[in-house]
A = this chain, B = another copy of it.
Amino acid sequence: MKNLLSNRIQNVPESFIRSILKVSTQPDVISFAGGLPSADLFPIEGLENACHKVLQTNGKKALQYSSSEGDSDLRAWISQRYQEKQGLNISPSNILITNGSQQALDLLGKVLLNEGDPIAIENPGYLGAIQSFSLYQPIMHTVAIDENGLDTKQLADVLEEHKPKLLYTVPNFQNPTGISYSQENREAVAQIVSQHDILLVQDDPYGELRFSGEQKSNFYELLPEQTLLLGSFSKVVVPSFRLGWIVAPDWLMKPLVIAKQAADLHTNYFSQQVISQYLQDNALDDHIEKITHFYGKQKQAMMDAISEHFPGDVKVAEPEGGMFLWITLPKGVSAMKLFDKAVQEKVAFVPGKPFYVGDEVQENTMRLSYVTVDEAKISEGIKRLAYCMKD
């Protein structure tokens, strides 16, 4: 009965990451492949206290059906956080709670994209966004990124020539490259975008995980009417709750709420209440400081091991935050082939290839995560990788 399948689902690429994860979760493999936050840092006790409090004081309400928009206290907290941390004025009524920011991508696809509509996306880019959008069968145009951010010449050309409906970006500690757009790059991008009828999506799961350098402008500051913000609690509090949000202008909120309602009525309301209680009773900044201190140390351990063991012609883009390092091997070296060897040596990473859309693939790139394994293992894993590179 396979003939009953829709065209869209038959066009989705197999996830290479999924098959990698099968290899990399074997117990004796040192894995730099995944993007899992460190479980040692989860605030188990704080969340347990919050569960208790919510069920004791407000159990009936917390367990009942609720509104598609999301919990009003949680939306107010997010609004206030934008004010405090980034000086942005965002009304709670422009915030929709979603199942992680991943669902925000799906809802955007649903309310914006007809089959064949043009969109623009960073290259290389976040696989989850590529997969999510691809189910709505748009035409994807790519804009290259480097250490400074988007290639503004290419961006201007793509917007001029193809008139994409949206531009997808992760300007802070991007996945997969770990790079951040410079302040100048953001301003140049905003300037170009402002000349077109297009929405800029700033996906920002890692933005608060900065261990060096300075915060740059949020696109919402530069382009308030054209920017959609995606946020998530997955990397700063807890991933399994699947709690994220989207900030959208009034005209887009109503369609998004209808799409949300059709998708799953509303996001788990108990978990919304629990995280809201947790955020009331605990200083999130203190918790984030613990995370960034830890990730910063791990990043340094990986950088040090790389300097010591990797051949001199291997380039590393050093991130100011987030979870990933991006490695560029000498031209002509295939990270896919390196991966096959690495697996034999019991060390795993993600080759760059699956993060590229279209033909402009840099086969000599790879992504390493420094957050999941400890410093001793980081050093040992990098040594093994260096050994594989020697051939």
> What residues make up the interface of A, taking CB atoms closer than 8 Å to B?
1-9, 12, 15, 36-37, 39-40, 42, 44, 47-48, 51-52, 55-56, 59-66, 98-100, 102-103, 106, 110-115, 117, 128, 131-132, 134-136, 165-166, 197, 199, 225-226, 234, 238-242, 249, 251, 255, 258-259, 261-271
Contacts and interface: CB of A to CB of B under 8 A. Distances in A.
B106 A262 contact: yes
The count of identical subunits is 2
B268 A242 contact: yes
A165 B4 contact: yes
Contacts of A44: 55, 59-60, 63
20 contacts: A1-B199, A1-B251, A6-B111, A8-B110, A9-B111, A12-B258, A15-B258, A44-B60, A47-B55, A48-B59, A63-B241, A65-B234, A98-B264, A99-B265, A99-B267, A100-B265, A102-B265, A240-B268, A242-B268, A268-B271
Nearest to A18: B261
A236 to B, nearest CB: 13
Pairs A-B, 4 closest by C-beta atoms? A99-B264, A240-B269, A39-B60, A44-B59
B262 A131 contact: yes
Instruction: Pick the most buried of A36, A135, A166: most chain B CB atoms within 10 A of its CB.
Output: A135
Contacts of A61: 39
A263 B65 contact: no
B264 A4 contact: no
Contacts of A6: 110-114, 117, 136
B239 A65 contact: yes
Given A59-B44, A112-B4, A270 B255 contact: no
Given A9-B111, A12-B258, A55-B48, A241 B270 contact: yes
Contacts of A131: 258, 261-262
Contacts of A112: 4-6
Contacts of A64: 36-37, 39, 42, 239-240
A55 B51 contact: yes
A62 B264 contact: no
B261 A15 contact: yes
Contacts of A128: 262, 265
Contacts of A51: 48, 51-52, 55
Given A135-B110, A242-B264, A255 B9 contact: yes
A226 to B, nearest CB: 8
Contact of A9 (B100, B110, B165): B110
Contacts of A7: 114
Contacts of A249: 1
Contacts of A47: 55, 63
Instruction: Pick the most buried of A66, A98, A103: most chain B CB atoms within 10 A of its CB.
Output: A103
B99 A240 contact: no
Instruction: Pick the most buried of A3, A60, A199: most chain B CB atoms within 10 A of its CB.
Output: A60
Contacts of A225: 1
Contact of A135 (B99, B262, B267): B262
Nearest to A225: B1
